[in-house]
Amino acid sequence: MKKFQKFGKYFLVFAIIFLFGWESASYYILKGSAESGIDQEEISPVAAFSSLIAPTDGTKADLKVFWDVWDLLEENYIDDHALDKQQMIYGAIHGMVAALEDPYTVYMNPDETVEFTQSLDGRLEGIGAELTVREQALVVVTPLKGSPAESAGLLPGDIVYKIDGNLTGEMTLFDAIMNIRGERGTKVVLTILRDGRDEPFDLGIIRDTINIESVYLEEPEEGIFWLSVYQFNDNTTPEFEEKMNEILLKEPKGVILDLRNNGGGYLEIAVDILSDFLEGEIEAVTIKRRDSGDDETLYVDGAPRLPHVPMVVLINDGSASASEIVAGAIQDYKRGIVLGQTSFGKGSVQEVDQLSDGSSIRLTIARWFTPNGTNIDDVGITPDIEVAMTDEDYEQDRDPQLDAAIEYLKNL
């Protein structure tokens, strides 16, 4: 019997840990199942793992050593009350997936699966930040706008060296998540390594409920509209359309689409946003799988509402996945200029399969390419105009990137 069902919804969400604690960014297909979990009294090599002994592709997998270790633990481990068979199975699956050494291919137990789903719905508790793993380091992609992490001064590119005094290098990603997350009102201390600083330093952050408003609109200069999109979640399309309606009621001279610190979200929403700016039913993104016969190209809808208004897209090293799809297409079609700093570089595609007990696995199945055929994985998108943000800019609440975008549009 098939052990999962397709939910059939694509999304790109970056290796996100919303520090309530989750991690995600890529393109996904969510799937689900309703079957029961493992009976702790009925686990046996034949019943539980026969499908692994004879894989469908004809290769052989010798599980004798696995069961040797299992038996040794059951017979000799000093604390027999700690031998929770279900948790041992979860741990074994975690290890099997981790052996691929792909930070975006992850097994999630039922609790982690629930949290992952909640993160995409915009329902979070924690410190409000997105993390990933790069070169075996826990790296901040971005703090969310208005979050405790942002208020505490956490910045994109920061390395989380310790959590409450414990070295993250000795933790799995999920260990780190469990240590960071906690109840609203409690405190977590992150020890940070930051480029430009010689010594690590501590940030104490009070956890809170994170309410994600994904779209903001301001008019910093008459006729120039600053449209900030912080995440592509369930609420983004209606919020974005509402802000677009506000712009259309006026006489826009220019639009700044701000994707800085946007760690990703649903793929369809990235295409929706592009559809408001690109003319014709043209390619938005191509997904290439292992079997080229399964490649897929997604197109904008051909009915843009702002096809000719001058445009600047702002990106930085916290812009990832779905936000890179938008910036990449705008740049490839020369619809506007891209300004800021090189983006994160998340160009792989994941699929999420929900398993019979409510757990799930997210595995890399493809890579995505911009309309010009570029894959930006581990490279990022290079802006047309590079403008940096310094620590001092952040501390003094200055925004030279936004200022540069406004000046560019004013001088057209």
For residue range 355-378, list pLDDT tens digits in order: 999 999 988 898 999 999 999 999
pLDDT at 283 over 90: yes
Of 2, 131, 4, 27, which is closest to residue 369 (Cα–Cα)? 27
- Model confidence at 319, pLDDT cuts 50, 70, 90, reads very high
What is the pLDDT, as a whole number, of residue 52?
Answer: 46
Catalytic, out of 346, 348, 359, 399: 346
Does residue 7 register a pLDDT over 80? no
pLDDT digits (tens, 9 = 90+) for 401-412: 999 999 999 999
346 annotated active-site = yes
List the single range of 42-56, 88-102, 222-236 with lowest mean pLDDT.
Answer: 42-56
Q: What is the mean pLDDT of the chain?
A: 83
Question: Confidence class of residue 118 from pLDDT cuts 50, 70 and 90?
Answer: low
In this structure, are residues 400 and 389 in contact, taking their beta carbons and an 8 Å threshold?
A: yes
Share of the chain above pLDDT 90, in %: 54
Q: Which of 43-57, 288-302, 363-377 has the lowest mean pLDDT?
A: 43-57
Please identify which of the residues 102, 332, 356, 384 carries the catalytic annotation: 332
- Check if the beta carbon of residue 225 is closer than 8 Å to that of residue 256: yes
Which residues are CB-contacts of 388 (< 8 A; sequence separation ≥ 6)?
Answer: 341, 400
Q: According to the model, what pLDDT value does residue 123 have? A: 54
Q: pTM higher than 0.75 for the full model?
A: no
Residue 59 has a pLDDT of 59
List all residues 6 or more positions away from 269 whose beta carbon is below 8 Å from its beta carbon.
Answer: 232, 233, 236, 237, 240, 322
Catalytic one of 319, 321, 348, 359:
321
Predicted pLDDT at 308: 96
Instruction: Please give, one letter per residue, the 3-state secondary structure of the chain.
Output: CCCCEEEEEEEEECCCCCCCCCCCCCEEEEEECCCCCCCCCCCCHHHHHHHHHCCCCCCCCCCHHHHHHHHHHHHHCCCHHHCCHHHHHHHHHHHHHHCCCCCCCEEECHHHHHHHHHHHCCEEEECCEEEEEECCEEEEEEECCCCHHHHHCCCCCCEEEEECCEEHHHCCHHHHHHHHCCCCCCEEEEEEECCCCCCCEEEEEECEEEECCCEEEEEEECCEEEEEECCECCCHHHHHHHHHHHHHCCCCCEEEEECCCCCEECHHHHHHHHHCCCCCCCEEEEEEECCHHHCEEEECCCCCCCCCCCEEEEECCCCCCHHHHHHHHHHHCCCCEEEECCCCCCCEEEEEEECCCCCEEEEEEEEEECCCCCCCCCCCCCCCEECCCCHHHHHCCCCHHHHHHHHHHHCC
Q: What is the average pLDDT across 15-33?
A: 39
Whether 366 and 375 have beta carbons less than 8 Å apart is answered as: no
More confident residue, 153 or 22: 153
Q: Note if 80 is an active site residue.
A: no
Rg of the chain (C-alpha set):
23
Hey, what domains does the chain have and what are their CATH numbers? 124-211 (2.30.42.10), 215-347+357-410 (3.90.226.10)
Query: What pLDDT score was predicted for residue 5?
Result: 29
276 is known as an active-site residue: no
Give one word for 42, left, alpha or beta, with left for phi > 0 and alpha for psi -120 to 50.
Answer: alpha
Split at pLDDT 50, 70, 90, the class of 202 is very high
